[in-house]
Amino acid sequence: MKQVLIIGAGKSSSCLIKHLIENRVLLGITLTIVDINTRPLHAYVGLENVHLVEIGSGDIKEYEPYISKSFLTISMLPAFMHIEVARLCLLYNSHLITPSYISTEMQALEGEVKAKQLIFLNELGFDPGIDHLTTMKTYYDIVAKGGRLTSYRSYAGGLVAPGSDDNPWHYKFSWNPRNVILAGQGGEIKYRKDGKEETLTYQNLFSKNEILKLSQGHVFDAYANRDSLKYEKLYGWENLDTLLRGTLRIHGFCEAWSILVNLGLTDDSIKNKPYSGKTYAEFYEEFLPGMAEDFIKSQTPLVQEKLNFIGFTDKKSIVEKNGSAAEILQSILVDKWKLKPEDRDWVVMVHFFRYTLHGKNFEIESYFSLEGETSTYTAMSKTVGMPIAFATELILHDKIKARGVLMPTERDIYLPILKRLAEIGIEFIDTIKEI
């Protein structure tokens, strides 16, 4: 039997783990799941060919004995840890899947990975992931009928379902909170719109958001996501008038989040600052240019409501005693934005393709929306985990011919995964109009 290893059993892993456990006999695999906390997986204790391993610190060396025995390793760790996992996979000849963007360090392994005939498949989750799969299919459908793509915009968001939306931010955590706190700090933010290239700094990213109104009636804030321009080459495109990838939040989020960014509350650079004995309000006051109450009163009523909700005047004690500003803010927001057991999350993704065909201009609005089943089996867990689960099946059955550091833009990857996703209700609705 082939050994499959999952490292990380957090919020995004539940549907992946469930699928591989339920199908382990059919797939002919032994499944090992390693995490610093396996208690949420207690229902799987004692199952044949399922091994739960709880480790102490999460140091990369603790994963080595398990990677060394694995045919395939799935890393669900924070993105910065994938490269160390990848180096161990290279050492022990294990295939690798991650849901995260390909880093410069990961790309640098391309030659060695190819030489060992391994698959290091990255950017396969919800966003990035499903966006690549659906974009490739629609693009080649346009090309097949003789069209030429001129503009592409893609947006996605992990949100709280309308029925569980009970706070003024209209947001709760359905995936790694740290990634939410540090969003926008991962490098250059570049895109092209109407023929003009734009570069944003982290400080103005959220104040430069656009208001996106969809044909379904939803209104979102959308902020630019990393370097959109690099995908022109990665997708095999040329000279698009517009190329933009963005993240969605419910309208009104970005105005308030921009304030937190510019106050320095999302700064992660100074570690282990002492906050023992301080309240939420005292923490925030350190970053305010004057009295907190005066600062709050200077904001719009909707922003005031948001700031008060996250404790700008709250006398509650900080749980995290020491840390960076971002870490303390995260500890507060994990409390304030927690999914309750009865809550459900909501994921939304939409692409806009503009193209010319027979002298006419058209636009496709390609829309997908899904609510989670429970606070454990979330929509985010399903849309991150199931593409990885289906790619695991492809690798086990040797259905992917390419080798190296890959994105899911190859036809023998995206077509079969999209087919399987459609079978479980993950399918886009396309609306085409002449413009």
Q: Write the CATH number for 241.
A: 3.30.360.10
Using alpha carbons, list the distances in angstroms from residue 244 to 181, 184, 207, 419, 428.
22, 15, 17, 26, 19
Supply the pLDDT for residue 305. 96
Supply the pLDDT for residue 291. 73
% of residues, the chain, pLDDT over 70: 100
Supply the pLDDT for residue 431. 95
Task: Give the chain's domain count.
Answer: 3
Supply the pLDDT for residue 321. 79
- Segment 285-304 mean pLDDT: 87
Alpha-carbon dihedral sign for residues 81, 82, 83, 87: positive
Residues 433 and 419 occupy one common structural domain: no
For residue 214, what are the contacts with CB-CB under 8 A and spacing of at least 6?
A: 220, 350, 365, 367
Residues 205 and 147 occupy one common structural domain: yes
Question: Residue 40: how many CB atoms within 10 A of its CB?
Answer: 15
- Segment 135-139 mean pLDDT: 98
Residue 294: pLDDT band with limits 50, 70, 90: confident
Supply the pLDDT for residue 188. 85
Supply the pLDDT for residue 227. 94
Residues 160 and 304 occupy one common structural domain: no
- Segment 136-164 mean pLDDT: 97
Residue 279: pLDDT band with limits 50, 70, 90: very high
Supply the pLDDT for residue 176. 84
User: Which of these three, 292, 322, 338, is where a domain ends?
Assistant: 338
Using alpha carbons, list the distances in angstroms from residue 21 to 24, 33, 354, 396.
5, 10, 42, 15
- Segment 178-186 mean pLDDT: 91
Residue 148: pLDDT band with limits 50, 70, 90: very high
Classify burial at 285, counting beta carbons within 10 Å of its beta carbon; exposed 0-12, middle 13-18, buried 19 or more: middle
Residues 242 and 305 occupy one common structural domain: no
pLDDT higher than threshold 90 for residue 296 = no
Classify burial at 217, counting beta carbons within 10 Å of its beta carbon; exposed 0-12, middle 13-18, buried 19 or more: exposed
Residue 187: pLDDT band with limits 50, 70, 90: confident
pLDDT higher than threshold 80 for residue 320 = no
Residues 385 and 395 occupy one common structural domain: yes
Residues 132 and 122 occupy one common structural domain: no
Residues 183 and 324 occupy one common structural domain: no
Tell me the per-residue pLDDT of 188-230, one tens digit each, with 9 for 90 and over.
899 999 999 999 999 999 999 999 999 888 999 999 999 999 9
Amino acid at 26: L
Residues 228 and 353 occupy one common structural domain: yes
User: What CATH number is given to the structural domain containing 85?
Assistant: 3.40.50.720
Supply the pLDDT for residue 44. 94
Residue 64: pLDDT band with limits 50, 70, 90: very high
Residues 149 and 251 occupy one common structural domain: yes
Domain that holds residue 251: 127-259+340-372+427-435
CA distance 414 to 370: 20
Residues 205 and 229 occupy one common structural domain: yes
User: What does the mean pLDDT of the chain come to?
Assistant: 95
Residues 311 and 344 occupy one common structural domain: no
Tell me the per-residue pLDDT of 33-50, one tens digit each, with 9 for 90 and over.
999 999 999 999 999 999
What's the Rg (C-alpha) of the chain?
22
Residues 402 and 431 occupy one common structural domain: no
